[in-house]
């Protein structure tokens, strides 16, 4: 009997093994993740919250927002409705007024295709003015849950706003949310302000001011506007860039002839020349690991990207494609270089793969400039022109999405994306 | 039903057992022996030491006297010694008498004990006799019962024999019937043989056709399986949104249970890649591809009821 049983079981197992169909899937598609956002309610705050999350996720380039009609409950009917609409996941939530401009906000992220399984569920109590930051925070959580990467919706951007009128010009250093909303003037001047650069901790911005009718490099603390003069040499004082540890500032000085790159120790004020020779060297930018520095140099006859190894001082050329490449910076993973690239007579944003040296042009406008990469390396903020005005554009590193950010009236120049904050 | 022979055996065994028990009880004499042994012990004499004392008389008369005074002294001393001896003897006699008295008393006690023991053994014998009588009575009863039982068994046997007779008659009838049938069959046998031969030829042909059909079916099923394997993989692949910057060396494995219409009933992750995003992306694609293309033929579909899917993010299309 026992033996018979064993034989039967073995036969069953064996037949099961023979009969099971084994499939192998090795190919997928490159596509944005379809997500639905169910309205958090009918009130103004609800609309603001829903729209902010919607804008964030669309801005990220990783999501396709599937339009759905709002429902109160995430019941089976709603889930099949979202599934029908083609959403893989859905953000649902509610806002309840607690009185005195305080709100109780709860949200859930659900997997639609898996019968509405809850992936995230949180609730918060916030004041009236924190609705937008909360929306960005929710976007960050949703983004991280679904892509496995940190979201950038709570980071900030800075840029120079130039407003002309009544015979005088107003220059300001603006700081805004990553989606361009909520801009605030950190500095205002009647003389040009240029080249804002965020410190690695996001607390300070280095910039160039012409307030004394000559270029000087300052740092300003974002929180309180406190300023510090860094360089005031004869000639050019420009293009400041922070080292990853925040202890040094790379700057361009022409105090001894042609513009050359120097490092300034911020604690001791010590100055060290990093590049030499007759050619113009400018736009230094540290690598994320702090081991090297990219810069633009005319030493080859035309502006091209070079790399200075900080361990041995060796310089190697990075860009070869085209006769004008400038404003280079690494993506955070150091696998790509973002740069200004001239094709024909047009200046556009391009990305060069480090391993293959292949250059991929991302924008195709007549004049785009000043690319600055987001801390997650997915998006590039840049200055472009729209209706004869300088505005901000965002393009994803893979070129899949491209959009313009809302800005105030005026010319927007030289945007810079902050690191992850707090 | 009671099995007659087995009952008989048991009965005989019971009789033998009881008889032997009775014999044992009647012939057992071991219990009277200890009494006799005690008697022999008591008969051993206690008087022997007295004779020994009589023999021990000293032989003093042979002494030679030289001096009367000395002789007198000697005589006196001897007298004294004799008196002393007589006293000692008396004392010993008394001691011996005492001992004899003690022994006598002991014997009385012993005899009393003996009488008691005899009494007890007599009682025991009576009890045994009673038991034997009862046993014999019981045996008688049993033999009576057995006789009754035998009578009953005989009746049963008679009944059985009757039944057997009937069966034999029935069998006879059947054999007669069979004979008649065989005769009838015999008449058809030539015809049937011819028919059978035709039938076997037909069957052989059918078997050959069946084998050919089976082979064709197997081939068709194999073809269908391959076809639907490709269709299923394609259906999932076209919906699998690969996470960006995914490690192409990763792989995970799923088990998918399908309904006959291809609907995905259950997706379980049997081996995770370690990357939750990759795992979920594939799982989402599987659910989204539901219902999957499956063969309509039930037999072929059965192979697709439970499928295993290994996922490797090697290529991106689109």
The confidence score (pLDDT) of residue B69 equals 73
- Amino acid A272: pLDDT: 95
How far is residue A420's CA from residue B184's CA, in Å, rounded to a whole number? 105
Count up the domains in chain B and report the number: 2
HEC string of B69-93? HHHHHHHHHHHHHHHHHHHHHHHHH
> Which pair of structure tokens corresponds to residue B161?
């024999």
Q: How high is the pLDDT of residue A420?
A: 95
What are the residue boundaries of the structural domains of chain A, listed by start?
33-147, 156-417
| Single residue among B166, B188, B210 that ends a domain in this structure | B188
Q: Which CATH superfamily is domain A33-147 in?
A: TolB, N-terminal domain (3.40.50.10070)
Cα radius of gyration (chain A): 26
CATH number at B302 reads: 3.30.1150.10
Question: If you search the block for the tokens 């590049």, which residue do you land on?
Answer: A275
B131 and B19 in a common domain: yes
Pairwise CB contact (< 8 Å): B288 & A27: no
Of B126, B161, B188, the residue at which a domain comes to its end is: B188
Q: How far apart are CA A225 and CA A247, in angstroms?
A: 20
pLDDT of residue A283: 96
CB of B254 less than 8 A from some CB of A = no
- pLDDT given for residue A381 in this prediction: 96
User: Does residue B20 fall inside a structural domain?
Assistant: yes
Do residues B86 and B4 share a domain?
yes
Q: If you compute the radius of gyration of chain B from its CA atoms, what whole number of angstroms results?
A: 59
pLDDT tens for residues A137-194?
999 999 999 998 899 999 999 999 999 988 889 999 999 999 999 999 999 999 999 9
Interface touch B315/A148, C-beta < 8 Å? no
- pLDDT, residue B13, reads 85
Within-domain flag for B217: no
Task: Please identify every stretch of chain A with a pLDDT value under 50, giving residue numbers as ranges.
Answer: 11-19
Q: Give which of B222, B232, B245 to mutate to test A binding, by max A Cβ within 10 Å.
A: B245
Q: Would B146 be classed as within a structural domain?
A: yes
Cα torsion through A186, A189, A191, A194, rounded to 10: 0
A23 neighbourhood in chain B, CB within 8 Å = 229, 232-233, 307-310
All residues of chain A having their beta carbon less than 8 Å from the beta carbon of residue B300 are: none
Q: Do B248 and B294 touch, CB atoms closer than 8 A?
A: no
Contact B310 A147 (CB under 8 A): no
What's the confidence (pLDDT) of residue B30? Answer: 53
**Are residues B17 and B121 both part of a single domain?**
yes
Same domain, B4 and B123: yes
In a shared domain, residues B18 and B83 = yes
The CATH number of the structural domain formed by A156-417 is 2.120.10.30
Give A319-380 as a DSSP string. --SSS-EEEEEE-TTSSEEEEEEEETTEEEEEEEETTT--EEE---SSB-EEEEE-TTSSEE
Indicate whether B87 belongs to any domain.
yes
User: What number of C-beta contacts closer than 8 Å exist between A and B?
Assistant: 99
CB contact under 8 A, B309 and A25: yes
B135 shares its domain with B282:
no
Are B176 and B256 contained in the same domain? no
**Domain closes at, from B163, B188, B213:** B188
* A187: nearest Cα among A168, A207, A214: A207
Residue B230 inside a domain? The answer is no
Q: What is the dihedral of CA A156, A160, A165, A170, to 10 degrees?
A: 100
Domain of residue B163 covers 1-26+66-188
Q: Considering CB atoms only, which of A29, A62, A333 is closest to B240?
A: A29
- B119 part of a folded domain: yes
Per-residue pLDDT of chain B (318 residues; tens, 9 = 90+): 555 566 788 888 888 888 888 888 777 555 545 544 444 445 554 555 544 444 445 555 555 555 667 777 787 888 888 888 888 989 989 999 999 899 889 889 888 988 888 888 888 889 889 989 999 999 999 999 999 999 999 999 999 999 999 999 999 999 999 998 888 888 888 888 888 889 999 999 999 999 988 888 888 888 888 899 999 999 999 999 988 778 889 999 999 999 999 999 999 999 999 999 999 999 999 999 989 999 988 888 988 999 999 999 988 876
């Amino acid at each position: 009997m026992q033996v018979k049983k064993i034989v039967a079981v073995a036969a069953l197992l064996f037949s099961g093994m023979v009969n099971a169909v084994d499939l192998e899937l090795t190919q997928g598609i490159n596509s944005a993740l379809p997500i639905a956002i169910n309205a958090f309610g009918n009130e103004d705050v609800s609309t603001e919250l829903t729209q902010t999350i919607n804008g964030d996720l669309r801005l990220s380039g990783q999501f396709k927002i599937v339009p759905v009609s709002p429902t109160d409950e995430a019941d089976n009917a709603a889930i099949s409705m979202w599934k029908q609409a083609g959403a893989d996941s859905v953000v649902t939530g509610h806002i309840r007024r607690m009185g005195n401009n305080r709100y109780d906000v709860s949200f859930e992220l659900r997997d639609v295709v898996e019968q509405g399984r809850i992936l995230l569920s949180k609730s918060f109590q916030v004041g009236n003015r924190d609705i937008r930051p909360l929306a960005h925070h929710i976007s960050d959580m949703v983004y991280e849950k679904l892509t496995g990467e940190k979201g950038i919706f709570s980071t900030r951007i800075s840029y120079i706003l130039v407003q002309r009128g009544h015979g005088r010009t107003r220059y300001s250093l603006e700081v805004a949310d990553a989606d361009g909303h909520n801009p605030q003037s950190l500095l205002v001047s009647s003389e040009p302000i240029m080249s804002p650069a965020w410190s690695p901790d996001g607390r300070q911005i280095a910039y160039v001011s012409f307030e004394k009718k000559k270029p000087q490099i300052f740092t300003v603390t974002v929180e309180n506007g406190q300023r510090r003069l860094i360089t005031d040499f004869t000639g050019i004082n420009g293009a400041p860039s922070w080292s990853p540890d925040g202890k040094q500032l790379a700057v361009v000085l022409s105090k001894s002839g042609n513009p050359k790159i120097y490092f300034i120790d911020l604690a001791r004020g010590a100055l060290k020349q990093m590049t030499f020779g007759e050619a113009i060297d400018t736009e230094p930018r540290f690598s994320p690991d702090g081991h090297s520095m990219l810069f633009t140099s005319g030493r080859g006859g035309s502006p091209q990207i070079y790399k200075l190894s900080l361990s041995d001082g060796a310089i190697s050329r990075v860009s070869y494609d085209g006769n004008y490449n400038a404003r280079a910076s690494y993506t955070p993973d150091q696998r790509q270089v973002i740069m200004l690239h001239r094709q024909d007579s047009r200046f556009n944003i391009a990305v060069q793969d480090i391993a293959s040296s292949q250059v991929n042009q991302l924008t195709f406008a007549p004049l785009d400039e000043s690319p600055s990469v987001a801390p997650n390396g997915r998006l590039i903020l840049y200055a472009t022109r729209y209706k004869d005005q300088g505005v901000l554009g965002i393009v994803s590193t893979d070129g899949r999405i491209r959009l313009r950010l809302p800005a105030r009236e005026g010319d927007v120049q030289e945007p810079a994306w902050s690191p992850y904050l707090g | 039903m009671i099995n007659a022979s087995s009952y008989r055996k048991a009965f005989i065994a019971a009789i033998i057992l009881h008889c032997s028990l009775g014999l044992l009880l009647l012939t057992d004499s071991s219990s009277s022996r200890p009494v006799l042994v005690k008697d022999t012990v008591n008969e051993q004499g206690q008087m022997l030491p007295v004779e020994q004392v009589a023999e021990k008389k000293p032989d003093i008369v042979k002494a030679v006297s030289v001096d009367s005074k000395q002789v007198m002294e000697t005589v006196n001393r001897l007298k004294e010694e004799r008196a002393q001896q007589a006293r000692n003897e008396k004392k010993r006699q008394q001691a011996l008498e005492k001992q004899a008295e003690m022994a006598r008393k002991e014997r009385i006690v012993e005899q009393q004990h003996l009488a008691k023991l005899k009494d007890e053994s007599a009682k025991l014998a009576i009890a045994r006799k009673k038991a034997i009588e009862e046993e014999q009575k019981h045996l008688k009863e049993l033999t009576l019962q057995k006789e009754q039982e035998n009578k009953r068994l005989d009746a049963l046997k008679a009944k059985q024999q009757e039944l057997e007779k009937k069966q034999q008659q029935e069998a006879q009838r059947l054999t007669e019937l069979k004979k008649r049938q065989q005769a009838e069959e015999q008449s058809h046998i030539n015809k049937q043989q011819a028919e059978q031969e035709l039938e076997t030829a037909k069957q052989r042909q059918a078997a050959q056709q069946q084998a050919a059909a089976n082979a064709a079916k197997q081939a068709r099923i194999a073809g269908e399986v391959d076809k639907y394997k490709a269709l299923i993989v394609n259906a999932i692949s076209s919906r699998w949104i690969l996470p960006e910057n995914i490690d192409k060396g990763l792989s995970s494995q799923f088990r998918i249970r399908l309904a006959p219409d291809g609907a995905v009933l259950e997706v379980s992750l049997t081996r995770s890649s370690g990357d939750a995003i990759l795992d979920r992306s594939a799982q989402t694609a599987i659910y989204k591809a539901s219902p999957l293309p499956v063969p309509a033929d039930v037999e072929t579909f059965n192979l697709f009821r439970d499928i295993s899917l290994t996922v490797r993010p090697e290529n991106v299309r689109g």
